[in-house]
A and B are shown apart, each in its own frame.
Chain A
């Protein structure tokens, strides 16, 4: 049996993971299609007359790396939460219809051809965010009607709402013009495009705040993973914990989706990978999944940026191609450690 998780051990693990993340981000910021001299970057933005291109390129690259980190962390943590709440190893952040809700929002925005921007975000991002949150609320609402957090009811509601919105999406796609269809398809495949730094900071605030809150309900999530009755007997307020965890997970997923489109695989595989290697204790599963998700997506996006230069790949393609085999190796190597695989 594993040794007890002391606060000291936990801090060390999180600290080490953060150090790895920082190192990965630093290395990835040096990788790109253009050569950037670090020395030149540190001379600052330059003057109006003689701007510094190295500084500008590094600015774009860094904002994209930070974005990748945020999205990766949000999706991985949301994945952990959905897996424990639904007590289903196949759950991922998109399982309750967020993907089709966001996709429907995106295609509506593309077809209506809006031109405004909201805080530097395009209508696609705004509509996707609204679509994602609206869908989750709808699924949650229907799930509640089937009984007080009946997991099967919630899952079925999610699957059916997903299918229904997907059908609406397909209908809109079939009547849209071809260039509109392409715009939506590329958005749906997941793309990390640098936004304004303001948006990045707001996104960072939401995601990091959400992850910290999830970290603090880690012990209750641990209890919940034994089932609602056991958790209740341990003195956990089941309904409240579920509502909070569900709300936060859905919220950070919606933020991630509106920042980057639908990036698959991170939210499914990273939580499992971390659980296989470090065990299922949510107090460390949540922070470590967040950090690992960030590392994973930063690396995947760096590959996506450079592999077919001067073009780039949708990052979702890379996450699945890189993540799939890697996950299978972990699965074979560590599977004896984790009880739900038996």
Chain B
């Protein structure tokens, strides 16, 4: 079915746009659609789709967790793109049964993310743009890797929430971003994806850097001051002793989307600020 399209691309002819009315059920899918030039074809997004700013102007079809099937149908989509977790998979299945085109992509890890861009590109007839986006992000990440170099890894404690304290575990895309930025997770493998940990582990993990993602709209500097104060009780931890506690804007690191590079660079700047001075 896609064979003829492949042929068209190879011959260099412009691709016909197959999908004209797309509904996206996740903020990172919306970002991917905008990044491959399909922004004006989107007819519905979830409430939390706020980037790029144009996305926030699109009609809403419910929340990420509870998409509203009536609103989705009312957006008259010829393609609905969902994520792979239970609620969204069910919705995609129901839509398929009543005759709508739906595409389910899994975006759990960085490799899934690249695969998802490719899948979306194929389904929307934008393979070329999708491939360009993929190679653009990959090139930047490679450049970052060469800046960071292959020196000793910086141990990072990635704090998801303070009370009760939970951090990012090894089986997360944040973990991959930390590694791409030249660090390593200070917490070893756990049964939880985002393990709750106790103070003893905080001391034992020996983190060089603590990173929290920013909450709400409050000024980041204020949040950082409070974070430094909060962590000051662990005076033995290298990250605290050297005041290397950071609060970074949440968006680019809490969703795995086309701003993957920006998020990773922000992390790299926290880990090795001296490499980025100038």
* B106 contacts partner chain A, Cβ-Cβ < 8 Å: no
Q: A32-B200, A34-B203, A115-B218 are in contact. Are A310 and B166 (CB under 8 A)?
A: no
User: Which A residue's beta carbon lies closest to that of B235?
Assistant: A51
**Chain B positions 42 through 75: 1 when the CB is less than 8 Å from some CB of chain A, otherwise 0:** 0000001000000000000000111000000000
Taking CB atoms, residues of chain A closer than 8 Å to B190 are 308, 310-311
* B137 contacts partner chain A, Cβ-Cβ < 8 Å: no
Query: B165 contacts A60, CB within 8 Å?
Result: no
User: Which B residue's beta carbon lies closest to that of A116?
Assistant: B226
Query: B164 contacts A186, CB within 8 Å?
Result: yes
The segment out of B9-17, B127-135, B139-147, B191-199 that lies at the interface is: B191-199
Q: A51-B236, A122-B163, A193-B164 are in contact. Are A314 and B203 (CB under 8 A)?
A: no
Query: A60 contacts B164, CB within 8 Å?
Result: no
Residue of A113, A194, A312 near B196 (CB, 8 A) is A312
* A212 contacts partner chain B, Cβ-Cβ < 8 Å: no
A194 to B162 Cα, complex, angstroms: 12
Query: B204 contacts A60, CB within 8 Å?
Result: no
A194 to B201 Cα, complex, angstroms: 13
A313 to B199 Cα, complex, angstroms: 14
* A183 contacts partner chain B, Cβ-Cβ < 8 Å: yes
Query: A305 contacts B198, CB within 8 Å?
Result: yes
Q: How many residues of B contact A (CB 8 A)?
A: 36
Query: A191 contacts B164, CB within 8 Å?
Result: yes
A60 to B191 Cα, complex, angstroms: 23
> Smallest distance from the beta carbon of A151 to chain B beta carbons, Å?
36
Residue of A179, A261, A310 near B205 (CB, 8 A) is A310
A313 to B164 Cα, complex, angstroms: 11
Q: A309-B201, A310-B201, A314-B196 are in contact. Are A53 and B236 (CB under 8 A)?
A: yes
Q: How many residues of A contact B (CB 8 A)?
A: 34
Taking CB atoms, residues of chain B closer than 8 Å to A182 are 160-161, 166, 194
Taking CB atoms, residues of chain A closer than 8 Å to B166 are 182, 186
User: Which A residue's beta carbon lies closest to that of B203?
Assistant: A57
> Smallest distance from the beta carbon of A131 to chain B beta carbons, Å?
16
**Chain B positions 231 through 273: 1 when the CB is less than 8 Å from some CB of chain A, otherwise 0:** 0000110000000000000000010000000000000000000
Query: B160 contacts A179, CB within 8 Å?
Result: yes
* A339 contacts partner chain B, Cβ-Cβ < 8 Å: no
* B188 contacts partner chain A, Cβ-Cβ < 8 Å: yes
Query: B199 contacts A60, CB within 8 Å?
Result: yes
* B215 contacts partner chain A, Cβ-Cβ < 8 Å: yes
Taking CB atoms, residues of chain A closer than 8 Å to B160 are 179, 182
Q: A51-B235, A124-B163, A179-B160 are in contact. Are A310 and B204 (CB under 8 A)?
A: yes
A305 to B163 Cα, complex, angstroms: 16
Taking CB atoms, residues of chain A closer than 8 Å to B203 are 34, 53, 56-57, 60
* A242 contacts partner chain B, Cβ-Cβ < 8 Å: no
Interface residues of B in 64-92 (CB under 8 A from A): 64-66
A174 to B199 Cα, complex, angstroms: 31
Residue of B187, B195, B200, B235 near A34 (CB, 8 A) is B200
> Smallest distance from the beta carbon of B210 to chain A beta carbons, Å?
16
Which of the listed residues B66, B161, B165 has the most CB atoms from chain A within 10 Å of its own CB? Answer: B161
User: Which B residue's beta carbon lies closest to that of A35?
Assistant: B204
Residue of B64, B163, B195, B216 near A311 (CB, 8 A) is B195
Residue of B66, B169, B200 near A305 (CB, 8 A) is B200
Query: B197 contacts A311, CB within 8 Å?
Result: yes
**Chain A positions 18 through 48: 1 when the CB is less than 8 Å from some CB of chain B, otherwise 0:** 0000000000000011100000000000000
Residue of A32, A56, A174, A312 near B197 (CB, 8 A) is A312
Taking CB atoms, residues of chain B closer than 8 Å to A311 are 169, 187, 190-192, 195-197, 201
User: Which A residue's beta carbon lies closest to that of B229?
Assistant: A117
Interface residues of B in 159-175 (CB under 8 A from A): 160-166, 169
Apart from A60-B200, A186-B166, A193-B165, what are 18 other A-B pairs with CB-CB below 8 Å?
A: A33-B201, A51-B236, A53-B236, A115-B223, A124-B163, A174-B66, A179-B160, A179-B254, A183-B161, A186-B164, A187-B163, A191-B164, A191-B196, A311-B192, A311-B201, A312-B195, A312-B196, A312-B197
Task: List B residues at the A interface (Cβ < 8 Å).
Answer: 48, 64-66, 160-166, 169, 187-188, 190-192, 194-201, 203-205, 215-216, 218, 223, 226, 235-236, 254
Task: List A residues at the B interface (Cβ < 8 Å).
Answer: 32-34, 51, 53, 56-57, 60-61, 64, 113, 115, 122, 124, 174, 177-179, 182-183, 186-187, 191, 193-194, 261, 305, 308-314
- A-B contacts, 29 listed (Cβ < 8 Å): A34-B204, A51-B235, A56-B203, A56-B236, A57-B203, A60-B198, A60-B199, A61-B200, A115-B226, A122-B162, A124-B163, A177-B48, A182-B166, A183-B161, A187-B163, A187-B164, A191-B164, A305-B198, A308-B190, A308-B192, A309-B201, A310-B190, A310-B204, A310-B205, A311-B190, A311-B196, A312-B197, A313-B196, A314-B196
